[in-house]
Amino acid sequence: MKNLIFLLVFIFTLPPFSSAGAQPLETIKVAVNQAMVILNDPQYKDESRKNIQRDEIWQIIRQVFDLEGIARITLARSWQQFTAAEREEFTEVFG
C-alpha cells in the first residue's frame, strides 16, 4: 500500500523548484540522497533527536512534492466543498 501511495504521489506531482532542464528522476535522486544522509547521520541515533531528524526529512519532502496539490487530488470534487480553513487543516494532516 505504501508503494502505491508513493507511486501516486510521484506521478501526480511536479517538483516546484526544478529548473526547465531538470529531469524528474534526477530531482527525486537528489532528494533521496539528501534524506539518506540525514537518516544515516550518527547524531540522530539518540532518541531525543529523532524529531529533529524527521523535521529535516519533511523539509526535503516539502521542497520536492506539492503536498497541497496531492491533498486536492485526494479529495477530488470534495475539495471545492471544503472551506479554506478545512483545506488548510487537511493539507497539514495529509503532509
Task: Report the pLDDT averaged over residues 81-93.
Answer: 89
Indicate the pTM of the whole model. Answer: 0.64
Helices marked H in 1-95: 2-12, 24-40, 50-64, 67-75, 78-81, 84-94
Task: Identify the pLDDT of residue 46.
Answer: 93
Task: Identify the pLDDT of residue 18.
Answer: 47
**8 A C-beta contact, residue 18 and residue 27:** yes
Task: Report the pLDDT averaged over residues 12-32.
Answer: 71
